């Protein structure tokens, strides 16, 4: 009887784990992770803004995206981006770029630069090198 109870309990627990509902699910996409070499058709579950599952099992969510015929991958980093205006940001996000870096001129006041970026760039990460300037003869 004890064994039957244990088997029943494990069955219920495993069913509950599989039946988890995510905030968003991305279904049937070609999921690629360059770090691990993962590359196959799979489903992804997102909870509280974080990817919490990648599986070939059926999953459910409050919202779903059918990614059939599309690639699902980590965000790309653009190391030399000058399009920090709203249109450039929109284009980059649609291309999968989630981090824009600008290493050309630098920023004299990095706090001011980051403050302006936070107000204007929304869901995009960004960075810049700090310019150290010295004037000759001063």
Cα–Cα distance for residue pair 90/131, rounded to 1 Å:
27
pLDDT at 83 exceeding the cut of 60: yes
Kindly report, residue by residue over 11-37, the tens digit of the pLDDT: 444 445 456 899 999 999 999 988 889
* Residue 53 pLDDT class (50, 70, 90 cuts): very high
Three-state DSSP at 49 gives coil
Q: Indicate yes or no: pTM above 0.75.
A: no
Confidence band for 102, pLDDT divided at 50, 70 and 90: confident
Identify the band that residue 45 occupies on the pLDDT scale cut at 50, 70 and 90: very high
How many Å apart are CA 107 and CA 112, to the nearest integer? 9
Domains, in order of start, for the chain:
2-72 (2.30.40.10), 76-130 (no CATH)
- Token code pair at residue 127: 């960075």
pLDDT in tens, 56-78: 999 999 999 999 999 998 888 88
Reply yes or no on whether the pLDDT at 51 is more than 50.
yes
């Amino acid at each position: 009887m004890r064994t039957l109870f244990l088997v029943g309990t494990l069955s219920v627990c495993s069913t509950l784990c599989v039946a988890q509902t995510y905030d968003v699910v991305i279904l049937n996409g070609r999921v690629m992770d360059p770090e691990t070499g993962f590359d196959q058709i799979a489903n992804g579950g997102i909870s509280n803004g974080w990817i919490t599952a990648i599986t070939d099992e059926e999953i459910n969510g409050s919202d779903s995206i059918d990614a059939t015929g599309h690639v699902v991958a980590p965000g790309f980093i653009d190391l030399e981006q000058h399009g920090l205006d709203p249109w450039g940001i929109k284009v980059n996000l649609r291309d999968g770029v989630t981090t824009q870096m600008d290493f050309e001129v630098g920023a004299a006041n990095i706090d001011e630069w980051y403050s302006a970026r936070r107000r204007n760039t929304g869901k995009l990460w960004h960075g810049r090198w700090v310019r150290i300037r010295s004037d000759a003869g001063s």
